[in-house]
């Protein structure tokens, strides 16, 4: 019962330090946490943070996309924070591996600023709900290093929870699944701990789709084959639109939230090309290219985007193993400063859910207020006068302050397949 209660506390996002487990353990971590040093003349933290995030986002996207049907949602941000928390307590070898993958600099002052930026990207306002939960669930009786434990909870990187993983694995697994609303078929409890993280984004729009007309429409594959149908939300809007030749995609940006806190960036693959090599060839610079391609159009754009909900449960451990992170799961030395006995992680799963539908919060804009310059005149104007997502598209939720990606998605499978 205690496990159930502890786990349910993830749901209310308490950064609860599990006091009962805090005892004094000698630690070499003390020193670096107490004295993070100075940032030197490194002033542009946002730029470094963004660069780190872009690289990690693309690297994980390329790993996840080819597994399965190229339809998925994941949160690179949530995974980055979870791994950063583990890196903070890991031995030097594993820490290096993780810092390299996450592009986290060794300078502690800069590192802490990255953490501050990363954990403040989420929002739970009525107009934009983007929520992530992250936890290390350890077996009852495993004692965490209080220095590390305090660090990760105070920086809001990770919650630490206990469950009877060994004594009653069925109950422990049930509580974990219930607390994070996931099936987690691959939840392996053979170690003494598991990592879990979740990300939920509910696409509430300020003005984007409240007045949309929803209609059933055909959906096509990249090669133009009719593969099913979707419920398309169609509206006419001013917005920013662009084209990126390297991925042969038309790009649309839609602002979200009362203060345009986030923006949704959709990349619609318009070339009749195989998408696999396109994704394989992606570099982190693609994200800057996409953002740089966007321009406000003169005429309102005919926009059509499917209503959908995607839920993915990723075996993050397998993905990270393929990215070269190995000792974290197998070597007790790696986690000796995290807990006693050392945390032996048998699973790391991420659940991400993205819901995109027509419910908005503001009344729709009055059509007469739209500036209109008449019908498009040039072929280019015509190309940019519509954005009809009736074929596979990639999609990202970005925050406006740092332009980093909270959620990355690919949509290829229509709601109503043929
Ligand atoms: C990110 O990747 C780009 C190449 O795509 C590279 O030039 C850059 O140095 C990388 N940044 C970091 C922080 O690793």
Ligand 1 atom closest to the Cα of residue 54 is 1
Q: How many angstroms separate the alpha carbon of residue 398 from the centre of ligand 1?
A: 19
Is the same domain home to 86 and 157? yes
pLDDT for the residue numbered 114: 95
Residues 218 and 292 in one domain: yes
Protein residues whose CB sits closer than 6 Å to any atom of ligand 1: 51-52, 55, 103, 283-285
Q: What separation in Å is there between the alpha carbon of 103 and the centre of ligand 1?
A: 9
Residue 100 lies in a domain: yes
Least-confidence region, from 6-10, 64-68, 196-200: 6-10
pLDDT band at 278 (very low <50, low <70, confident <90, very high): confident
pTM listed for this prediction: 0.87
CA of 283 from ligand 1 middle (Å) equals 9
> How many A from CA of 286 to the centre of ligand 1?
11
Residue 246 pLDDT: 87
Distance CA 385, CA 236 (A): 10
Indicate the helix (H) or strand (E) that contains 261.
Answer: none
Are residue 264 and residue 325 in the same domain, yes or no? no
396 and 253 housed in the same domain: yes
Instruction: Tell how far the Cα of 329 is from the centroid of ligand 1, in angstroms.
Output: 26
User: pLDDT, tens digit, for every residue of 74-112?
Assistant: 999 999 999 999 999 999 999 999 999 999 999 988 999
Instruction: Say if 50 falls within a structural domain.
Output: yes
- The token pair at 156 is 């809001």
192 lies in the same domain as 238: no
Q: Rounded to an integer, what distance in angstroms lies between the CA atom of residue 412 and that of residue 355?
A: 15
- What's the gap in Å between 53 CA and the centre of ligand 1? 10
Question: Is the backbone peptide bond immediately before 114 cis, with ω within 30 degrees of 0?
Answer: no
Q: From atom 1 of ligand 1, which residue's Cα is the shortest distance away?
A: 55
Mark whether 107 and 162 lie in a shared domain.
Answer: yes
Domain of 317, CATH number, reads 3.30.497.10
Average pLDDT of every residue of the chain: 83
Q: Would you say residue 11 has pLDDT above 90?
A: no
In a domain, 35, yes or no: no
Counting ligand 1 atoms within 8 A of each CB, the residue from 44, 47, 48, 55 with the most, and so the one to mutate, is 55
> Which pair of structure tokens corresponds to residue 389?
């997502």
Helix axis angle for 92-102 and 76-89, nearest 10°, is 160
Ligand 1 atom closest to residue 48's alpha carbon, by position in its atom list: 13
254 by DSSP, 3-state: which? strand
Together in a domain, 168 and 72: yes
Please indicate, yes or no, whether residues 386 and 319 belong to a single structural domain of this protein: no
Task: Give the domain extent around 317.
Answer: 2-23+45-203+310-354
Indicate whether 28 belongs to any domain. Answer: no
Q: Identify whether 37 is part of a domain.
A: no
Q: Which helix (H) or strand (E) holds 202?
A: strand 193-205
* Closest C-alpha among 95, 55, 61 to residue 75: 61
Q: Do residues 387 and 257 both lie within one domain?
A: yes
| Integer Cα distance of 121 and 111 in angstroms | 16
The token pair at 270 is: 């318009």
Q: Are residues 239 and 301 in the same domain?
A: yes
Please give the tally of structural domains in the chain: 2
Per-residue model confidence (pLDDT) at position 375 = 58
Share of the chain residues as helix, strand and coil, in percent rounded to the nearest 5: 35, 30, 35
For atom 3 of ligand 1, which residue has the closest CA? 284
Residues in Cβ contact with 299 at an 8 Å cutoff, skipping those fewer than 6 apart: 372, 373, 374, 375, 376, 381, 385
Closest CA to 171 of 352, 346, 5, 394: 5
Cα separation, 137 vs 262, in Å, equals 31
Q: Please check whether residue 29 lies inside any domain of the structure.
A: no
The predicted-structure confidence for 288-316, as pLDDT tens digits, reads as follows 899 999 998 878 899 999 988 899 999 99
Q: Does one domain contain both 341 and 263?
A: no
In a domain, 59, yes or no: yes
Count of helix runs (H) and strand runs (E) in the chain: 13, 20
Give the residue, out of 246, 284, 290, 405, with the most ligand 1 atoms within 8 A of its beta carbon, to mutate for a pocket test.
Answer: 284
24 CA → ligand 1 middle, Å: 40
The DSSP-derived string for 298-326 is: SSPEEEEEE-EEEEEEEEHHHHHHHTT--
The minimum-distance atom of ligand 1 relative to the CA of 284 is 5
pLDDT digits (tens, 9 = 90+) for 15-61: 333 333 333 333 455 555 556 667 776 668 999 999 999 999 999 99
**Same-domain status, 196 and 265:** no
Dist. CA 49 → ligand 1 center (Å): 11
Q: Note whether residue 39 is domain-resident.
A: no
Burial profile 95-130: b = 16 or more Cβ within 10 angstroms, e = fewer = bebbbebbbbbebbebbbbbbebbbebbbeeebbbb
- CATH number for the domain harbouring residue 395: 2.30.39.10
- Whose Cα sits closest to atom 9 in ligand 1? 51
Do strands 339-340 and 405-411 pair parallel, antiparallel, or not at all (unpaired)? unpaired
pLDDT in tens, 333-389: 999 999 999 999 999 999 999 888 766 444 444 444 444 445 556 777 778 889 999
Element (H, E) at 28: none
DSSP three-state, residue 121: coil
How many whole angstroms from 105 Cα to the centroid of ligand 1? 13
Nearest ligand 1 atom to alpha carbon 52:
13
The residue assigned the tokens 């490194």 is: 42
């Amino acid at each position: 019962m205690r496990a159930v209660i502890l786990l349910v506390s993830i749901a209310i996002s308490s950064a609860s330090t599990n006091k009962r487990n805090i005892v004094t353990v000698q630690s070499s971590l003390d020193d670096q946490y107490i004295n993070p040093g100075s940032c030197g003349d490194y002033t542009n933290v946002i730029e470094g943070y963004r660069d780190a995030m872009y690289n990690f986002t693309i690297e994980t996207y390329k790993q996840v996309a080819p597994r399965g049907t190229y339809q998925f949602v994941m949160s690179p941000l949530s995974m980055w924070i979870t791994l950063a928390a583990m890196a903070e307590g890991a031995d030097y070898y594993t820490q290096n591996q993780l810092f390299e993958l996450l592009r986290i600099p060794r300078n502690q002052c800069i590192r802490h600023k990255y953490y501050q930026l990363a954990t403040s990207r989420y929002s739970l306002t009525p107009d934009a709900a983007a929520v992530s939960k992250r936890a290390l669930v350890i077996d009852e009786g495993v004692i965490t290093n209080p220095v590390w434990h305090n660090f990760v909870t105070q920086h809001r990187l990770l919650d630490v929870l206990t469950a009877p993983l060994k004594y009653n694995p069925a109950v422990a697994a049930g509580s974990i699944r219930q607390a994070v609303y996931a099936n987690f078929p691959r939840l392996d409890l053979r170690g003494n701990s598991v990592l879990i993280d979740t990300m939920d984004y509910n696409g509430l729009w300020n003005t984007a789709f409240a007045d949309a007309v929803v209609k059933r429409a055909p959906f096509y594959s990249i090669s133009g084959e009719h593969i099913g149908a979707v419920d398309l939300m169609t509206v006419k809007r001013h917005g920013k639109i662009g084209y990126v030749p390297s991925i042969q995609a038309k790009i649309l940006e839609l602002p979200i939230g009362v203060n345009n806190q986030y923006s949704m960036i959709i990349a619609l693959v318009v070339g009749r090309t195989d998408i696999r090599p396109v994704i394989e060839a992606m570099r982190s610079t693609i994200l800057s290219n996409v953002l740089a391609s966007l321009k406000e159009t003169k005429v309102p754009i005919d926009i059509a985007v499917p209503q959908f909900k995607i839920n993915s449960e990723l075996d993050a451990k397998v993905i990270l193993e393929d990215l070269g992170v190995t000792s974290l799961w197998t070597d007790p030395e790696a986690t000796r400063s995290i807990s006693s006995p050392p945390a032996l992680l048998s699973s790391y799963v991420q659940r991400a859910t993205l819901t995109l539908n027509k419910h908005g919060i503001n009344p729709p804009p009055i059509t007469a207020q739209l500036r209109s310059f008449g019908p498009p005149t040039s072929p280019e104007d015509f190309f940019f006068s519509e954005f009809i997502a009736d074929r596979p598209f990639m999609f990202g939720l970005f925050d406006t302050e740092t332009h980093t990606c909270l959620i990355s998605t690919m949509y290829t499978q229509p709601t109503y397949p043929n």
